[in-house]
Structure 1
Amino acid sequence: MTTTQHPLGSGFGATSTAEEVIKGIDLTGKVAIVTGGYSGIGLETARVLRAAGAEVVVPARDVERARTALKDVPGAEVGHLDLLDPASIDAFAEKILASGRPLHLLVNSAGIMATPLARDARGYEGQFATNHLGHFQLTTRLWPALVAAGGARVVALSSRGIRFAGVDFDDLHFEHRTYEPFVAYGQSKTANALFAVEVDRRGQAQGIRAFAVHPGLIVDTGLVKHLDPAALQAAGALDSEGRPVRDPERQMKTVQQGAATSVWCATSPQLDGLGGVYCENVDISPLVTPENEAAWAGGDSVPGVLSRAVDPEAAARLWEVSERLTA
């Protein structure tokens, strides 16, 4: 497989923060939507985009909670959206389109991880439905606004969780196999990465470029609420007192560091003319080749992306399946 998965030598790294990577970039006149923009790295992403001058819209299932969380982000807008409710996604998108505003930046940052088995009203598995299908529907409904920007970027939050599973096209919703929370998570995160590949292919001629991001392991957000603290301690993510371990070279980051790659992908001129790539530590990730797969799988300090997560044939197939699933 030919690939553009080659690091640029961006000058940034694992310790870089969102504020550092956006320094000197003026987003005045730009419109940004950040899902999950009222907690964790999504909130930090929304904050720095707004501080750089962008109009920022944060979709939220709990509007009042979002407004409270965004009280220190003056001017940020909040709209109702539930990624598990197709009607609410359509309603949110229709309001954005009716406003006539172009959409320059769409950061799909919301997500859930390793949850117990749950299904939406359509019977779709919850992690795949939330992390991938909800964002697929949102992005495709907002497509006219992305085109109208005359140069837009879509950022899909993926994860090193791609290592847990690829996309099982024969049983996406665990109807015939035993449900494993991390397998379902891995499938959804691989889907996020593949989605960026196909958004970029389909959108490039219309000025839309897309990027997938591994933000790092940030344990002081709501994402890990379904994980056993003892397991996080055993993995070295929490110390003996239950406090987060900070070791950016092993992907254990602060919220500010975790948001850096998303913000870089959304705004950096270093990425002009590029897209459809998976990024981490504020650079494009190298492709994990057979000879370095053991080292990559053996720890979090070796950067890289598995070929199955950037495979253009799988990305095209996933798009077609997602169209059917979201009607």
Structure 2
Amino acid sequence: MDTLQAPMDSPFGAASTAREVIKGIDLSGRVAIVTGGHSGIGLETTRALAEAGATVIVAARDPGKARAAVGGWSNVEIGMLDLIDPASIDAFAERFLQKHRKLHLLINNAGFIGYALERDARGYESQFATNHLGHFQLTGRLWPVFARGARVVTVSSMGHQAGQVDFDDIHFERRPYDAYAAYGQSKSANALFALWLDRLGRPAGIRSFSLHPGGMITSGFSKDMSEADKKASGFLDAEGKPVIDPANNMKTLEQGAATSIWCATSGLLDGKGGVYCENCNIARAVPEDSQEQLGVRPWAMAPELAERLWQVSEKLAGVSYSGRGRSTASE
């Protein structure tokens, strides 16, 4: 890898908030897109970027909910985007391209976990289709207008530990469906996407990062979990109250958004990319059989797997990043 997957000397950590990370940074004149930027950590990401002066387009599946959350905020616009619907992605991108000449920050934040097997109109497993392929298509459609120095930040998860990309059965057509394995596969795909995207974008000064934000019980992401599962996962204590313990991966939304903001704006990452981050730092690479809670597993940072996933994704999404005025990947 071009940048070692190892922590650096960062002034921030697990308990840092998005506002603390972005303090003193002026994003005036910059344009950012945050998918799912109206709820959970996406909302705090939008807030931090907008307060720093960026024009932020909140890409939302339900514009009404987005308007209720961020309507009237300075520097914030709302756009309709359903990541599981290819036509919706194309329409969102076309509207953006008609209005904006440059894109400086793309935060691929939206995602979900599906506890029952669902498929999109193409027959693709819904978590892989939404969490990975939707963002793959969106980034590709916007590729022509990324500015030099732009960053693409994709929210992965420590959940990548639960599943590698199964190239022989991505869509659970033969193996029994396992919600956590499917989620893990999609989050591993997020990290591999960021790795290979960085190789493609580097000659044009476009850098890419993936990250684990931290576990947050107050996020809408956990709304479909039972109370028993939340307790078993450590989100709730024995009395059913949210556990806030940043050092042990249990964060507030403001703390959860900090690593996204750090990846998007930190000068420490200038000239770097393709790495998986956590706690406002580059994460440690850990062995496949590691029992540690954090760290990135080998299957989420292997260039050969990233390249293979890229080839598969181009076919599944019908999107090619070549021929868009950018150099192709090179060693």
Deviation, 1:59, is 0.9
Q: 2-side partners of 1:90 and 1:2: how far apart?
A: 32
Q: Which residue of 2 aligns with 1:20?
A: 20
**2:300 alignment partner, one of 295, 309, 321:** 309
Q: Which residue of 2 aligns with 1:151?
A: 149
| AA aligned opposite 1:289 | P
Q: Which residue of 1 aligns with 2:277?
A: 279
Structure 1 unmatched ranges of 5 or more:
none
**2:290 alignment partner, one of 276, 288, 294:** 294
Deviation, 1:151, is 1.2
1:167-209 per-residue CA deviation (whole Å, 9 max, x = no partner) reads 0011010000000000000000000000000110001001110
Deviation, 1:214, is 0.1
Aligned-partner SS, 1:151: strand
Deviation, 1:222, is 1.4
After TM superposition, the structure 1 = structure 2 runs for residues 97-246 of structure 1, keeping only pairs within 5 Å, are 97-146=97-146, 149-246=147-244
Q: 2-side partners of 1:122 and 1:228: how far apart?
A: 30
Q: 2-side partners of 1:259 and 1:72: how far apart?
A: 21
Change (3 A) 1:2 1:55: closer
Q: 1-side partners of 2:290 and 2:261: how far apart?
A: 30
Q: Which residue of 1 aligns with 2:46?
A: 46
Q: Assess if the C-alpha contact under 8 Å between 2:35 and 2:109 holds in 1.
A: yes
Q: 2-side partners of 1:134 and 1:108: how far apart?
A: 9
Work out the number of aligned pairs and report it. 318
**1:249 alignment partner, one of 243, 247, 250:** 247
Q: 2-side partners of 1:188 and 1:227: how far apart?
A: 18
Aligned-partner SS, 1:132: helix
Aligned-partner SS, 2:9: coil
For structure 1, which segment, 242-251 or 51-60, has the greater mean C-alpha deviation from structure 2 after superposition? Answer: 242-251
Q: Which residue of 2 aligns with 1:83?
A: 83
Aligned-partner SS, 2:299: helix
Stretches (4+) displaced over 6 A: none
Aligned-partner SS, 2:290: helix
Q: 2-side partners of 1:133 and 1:244: how far apart?
A: 32
Q: 2-side partners of 1:240 and 1:73: how far apart?
A: 38
RMSD, matched Cα: 1.3
Aligned: 1:259 with 2:278 = no
Deviation, 1:83, is 0.4
Q: Kindly, what percent of the aligned residue pairs are identical?
A: 59
Deviation, 1:2, is 7.9
Deviation, 1:92, is 0.6
Q: Assess if the C-alpha contact under 8 Å between 1:115 and 1:127 holds in 2.
A: no
TM-score for the superposition, normalised by structure 2: 0.93
Q: 1-side partners of 2:72 and 2:40: how far apart?
A: 14
Q: Assess if the C-alpha contact under 8 Å between 2:114 and 2:126 holds in 1.
A: no
TM-score for the superposition, normalised by structure 1: 0.94
Q: Assess if the C-alpha contact under 8 Å between 2:3 and 2:272 holds in 1.
A: no
Q: 2-side partners of 1:195 and 1:295: how far apart?
A: 25
Aligned-partner SS, 1:226: coil
Aligned-partner SS, 1:273: coil
1:234-270 per-residue CA deviation (whole Å, 9 max, x = no partner) reads 2322023322101111100000000000000001111
